Amino acid sequence: MTTHPHALTALEQAAAVRKGEVGPVDLVRHHLARVEQFDERFGAFVTRTPEAALAEAAALQAQQPSDSPLFGVPTAVKDLVDTAGVTTTYGSKAFAAHVPDVDAYSVTRMRAAGTVSLGKTNTPEFGCCCYTDNDLVGPARNPWDPELSAGGSSGGAAVAVALGLVPVAHASDGGGSIRIPASVCGLFGLKPSRGRVSSGPAGAEVTGLAVQGPLARSVRDAAALLDVLAGPEAGDPHWAPPLPDGETFLGQAERSPGRLRIGRYAVPAAEGIAVDPACLAAWEHASRLLESLGHVVEDIPTPFGPEISEHFIAAWAVQSLGRDVEPAREALLRPVTRAWREYGRGVSGAQFAAAVTGMQQASRRAVRATAAYDVVLTPTLATLPQAVTHFDESGDPLVNLHRQSAFSAFTSPYNMTGQPAVSLPLYWTEGAGIPVGVQLVGRPADEATLIALSAQVEEAAPWRDRYARLL
Q: Shortest CA distance to 405 belongs to which of 433, 428, 437, 383?
A: 383
Give residues with Cβ within 8 angstroms of 205, minimum separation 6: 199, 237, 238
Alpha carbon separation from 468 to 147, 163, 167, 348, 458 (Å, rounded): 20, 10, 14, 52, 16
DSSP 224: H
DSSP 69: T
Mapped onto helix, strand or coil, the DSSP state of residue 396 is coil
CA 178 from chain center: how many Å?
Answer: 2
Mapped onto helix, strand or coil, the DSSP state of residue 230 is strand
User: Which residues face 387 on adjacent strands?
Assistant: 148
Helical residues (DSSP H) of 196-323, grouped into ranges: 219-229, 249-252, 277-292, 307-319
At residue 71, φ and ψ (nearest 5 deg) are: -60, 125
**375 φψ region: left (φ > 0), alpha (ψ -120 to 50), beta (else):** beta
DSSP 197: B
Cβ pair 238, 348 in contact under 8 A: no
Cβ pair 110, 77 in contact under 8 A: yes
Cβ pair 91, 80 in contact under 8 A: yes
User: Which residues face 261 on adjacent strands?
Assistant: 296
Residue 159 CB-density burial (10 A; 0-12 exposed, 13-18 middle, 19+ buried): buried
Cβ pair 384, 279 in contact under 8 A: yes
Q: Shortest CA distance to 221 belongs to which of 167, 184, 162?
A: 167
C-alpha triplet 219, 222, 226: angle, nearest 5°: 135
Active site residues: 78, 153, 177
In the chain the first and final C-alpha atoms are separated, in Å, by 16
